[in-house]
Structure 1
């Protein structure tokens, strides 16, 4: 289950919610997402609060939930990715397994070199890096595969965010031609094939659909995910939050729908 589902919920509460709905892992950031906070959560920082990290570790151990993905590893013209070493060390402390890397740097050479440095740093810590196809220079599967070829490490794989991938022109046929081992992580949501929102990012950050209720070929995708690939739920639903529906009720419906699709896919 991804952090976008819960709009800034502190990590210990998030892990508890994940356990309550039967999820084994969560995708988080080191700080809360501040642009929308309907439940009035306080600010928090795993980066700056060692006591919170200890509390989170204890909570994860108690309920059997781990960290599947850490967000916040961006490539930009003015960013030295070596400065992210401390964040990787925090993820090690929290027993996390992988990071999500993205880029806003239109210089593909710098983007690919940044990915390669992150993959090397992660490999030194026994972690994986996944890259997301979507807004930015990695808008297509071919660009993502070029990055994979450049990096040349087995710990560097693809993340398929279903809304981004299919909206940016990706197809099932292209994915079916890949070595399945390249698909490391899936962030599952549904959506219409053609947006009804004025802003793409407004929709992506706030209003996605429960898996199985839109037009994306989710079942075909799930049949391509390798056994060690993680399938997570990323369904922000601001309209339901504003209508008074709490995070547990919102997330539980998404998790149940995802389980149904996974069963249909034979997983």
Structure 2
């Protein structure tokens, strides 16, 4: 990241890579793919994958690591199947239904898991293996979800709108219609708790939820497929189908 030079380009997945997540407090990361597998890598020595996790019978669409139990991660496929894995046992420990687009653990404590499938976002209690909320309101497919830094609020993005939910009540507390821009991704701003960064077609929307005001920033030449933020350095990264990644300050 200091030089922005490519260190290594390992090529082991045989089809599209759909998600990439770092293992907490580690240089390791995992990738999910259309090739029905999840692979574990070490960014300090990335030439070969460390381990391959197989068992999904369809395209693996997303994965995420538990924030505290860093030997645990989950993945979902486009057959709506969620698998919970133990890294050290190389095995799937639990299979459930309810996620086909994206899965994200609640930050810090990791008690809850948010999973998007079609136009519904389901919240699961990982410890008791039960669904606690079914967040409904989107009229089209939910592309992505993201938690705020404390894990109290969840944002969900579909092409036509962004919704922010309170996990205390299970209610939608803020909603923004796309007004023509096709929304695809979102992330809470690393420095301002009431600001949501939304990736659409070519542009970023900065949405002040408290005042319900928006600012549009031209960003890419295609859809902004993914966003990430760093609390440590206060920056946001955007990835687009135009083959570019950009860092924003």
TM-score scaled by structure 1? 0.31
Greater RCO, CA 8 A, separation 6+: 1
TM-score scaled by structure 2? 0.32
